[in-house]
Structure 1
Amino acid sequence: MEVFQAKIEHLEPIAILFDQYRVFYRQASDLATAKIFLQERLQKHDSVIFVASDGQIVGFTQLYPSFSSVSMQRIWILNDLFVVATHRRQGIAKLLLTAAKQYAQETGAIRMTLATQISNLSAQALYESLGYTRDEEFYHYSLRVSE
């Protein structure tokens, strides 16, 4: 299994996985818009995407840049992690997380953050096995600003 940073030429297969990822989170399939969204992220360098491939792309993780005002340093938000169902439980997610961590270190980040569904116990176990800790100090809120 090879893990590498995606480029625009990987757009088609990543868009298919990204669409499946969104469907997993109960969104309607929309491959055309998924492709446009990812194309913009890659062209504008708004995110960094790592993919896992065994000849075909079978998983990805997407990082968004941010900063910590308190530490005055870069952080990366690990926003998306997805492995196709036929390739799960083979260590692919761990490989993707390892690549993301290495990238964060190479770019001088102080930390990576992520969120997962409360019911996603297998993901939580994976994250904790890799040293991620659940935030017990802060509540996180969100505000919907558009319909």
Structure 2
Amino acid sequence: MSTIIRPAELEDLNDLTELMYDYIVGFYQNPSPPIDKVHYLIRALCDTQQGIQFVAEEDGRLVGFATLYFTFSTMKADKIAVMNDLFVKEAFRDTELESQLYLKCKNYCIDQGFANMTWITSINNTRAQSFFNKMNAVQGKDWVHFSIK
């Protein structure tokens, strides 16, 4: 099997859209966003100004993706990256491919001089938490996450 982890390209639009719907609707059971908004997001991230998406390709087909958004931290007075998504199809969870996708994000942040890479996951997603522990990530304990809809 041939695994490639690389930045997403506009040619990936349809396959990446399908993966994103698997993640948004299939995995997290969220409402399906309009396809034009998903396409806008993919296109915006392909120019790498506000963020970047990486795709995991196995034998020529996309089986996973990760999304980094770029922002700043006042506490660090520096740029940081938020890994908003790390998703692989079920058959590739807890595999070397998933690790490679995560490490691509981590190494990208190091190479680009980000102060850190941060992310959150659902409190119920114990499989992902186990994966991040295995990857030597540090679980935050100092902040409480809030959001508003």
TM-score by length of 1: 0.88
8 Å CA contact 1:63, 1:76 repeated in 2 = yes
Structure 2 equivalent of residue 88 of structure 1: 93
Q: What amino acid is aligned across from residue 45 of structure 1 in structure 2?
A: Q
Q: 1:104 to 1:41 in 2, by over 3 A?
A: same
Structure 1: segments with no counterpart, 5+ residues = none
Q: 1:31 to 1:57 in 2, by over 3 A?
A: farther
Structure 1 equivalent of residue 132 of structure 2: 127
Structure 1 residue 119: deviation in Å? Answer: 1.1
Q: What amino acid is aligned across from residue 26 of structure 1 in structure 2?
A: Q
Percent of matched pairs sharing the same residue: 28
Structure 1 residue 107: deviation in Å? Answer: 0.9
Q: What amino acid is aligned across from residue 5 of structure 2 in structure 1?
A: V
Q: What amino acid is aligned across from residue 61 of structure 1 in structure 2?
A: A
Structure 2 equivalent of residue 25 of structure 1: 28
Structure 2 equivalent of residue 73 of structure 1: 78
Structure 2: segments with no counterpart, 5+ residues = none
Distance 2:145 2:94 in 1: 30
Structure 2 equivalent of residue 13 of structure 1: 15
Structure 1 residue 29: deviation in Å? Answer: 3.5
> Matched residue pairs, number?
144
8 Å CA contact 2:45, 2:53 repeated in 1 = no
Q: What amino acid is aligned across from residue 30 of structure 2 in structure 1?
A: Q
Structure 2 equivalent of residue 3 of structure 1: 5
Distance 2:56 2:29 in 1: 24
Structure 2 residue 62 is matched with structure 1 residue 60: no
Structure 2 residue 141 is matched with structure 1 residue 136: yes
Structure 2 equivalent of residue 104 of structure 1: 109
CA-atom RMSD in angstroms: 1.7
